[in-house]
Amino acid sequence: MKKVVIITLLMLTTISSVYAGESWHTSKIEKIYPLSTGDFVIIFTNPAEGCLHPNGYHYVTINESGVTAEGIRNMLSVALTAGTTGKEITANFENTSATCPINRLIVTF
């Protein structure tokens, strides 16, 4: 019985630490700033609570937070669509990093 309790506590600790630094934010986009590396930065009209970057920049970076080269192209397309149509976008970002890296974007029409 003691082993079951210990294993259960270890699993709960591991599961909660995986999601501890994850935040969601919904806002319109103020700016999209492409970088020479192929990465880009999103600046929201309403800053995200929990973002550690002093200017509220949210980076979308290949090989960070599970973002692939194909994924970054898809997210840039979603971000540009939301920006040009004036729609709000919902972003999932890591709130324990100073770059507030985004790994998912949602736009609702």
| CA–CA separation, 71 and 65 (whole Å) | 11
- Work out the pLDDT band at 109, boundaries 50, 70, 90: confident
- Work out the pLDDT band at 8, boundaries 50, 70, 90: very low
Question: How do residues 22-80 score in pLDDT, each as one tens digit?
Answer: 999 999 999 999 999 999 999 999 999 999 999 999 999 999 999 999 999 999 999 99
pLDDT, residue 32, reads 98
- Work out the pLDDT band at 18, boundaries 50, 70, 90: very low
- Work out the pLDDT band at 14, boundaries 50, 70, 90: very low
Question: Does the pLDDT at position 6 exceed 70?
Answer: no
CATH of domain 23-107: 2.40.50.70
Cross-strand partners of 29:
44
Neighbours of 34 (CB within 10 A): 11
| Domain residue limits, the chain | 23-107
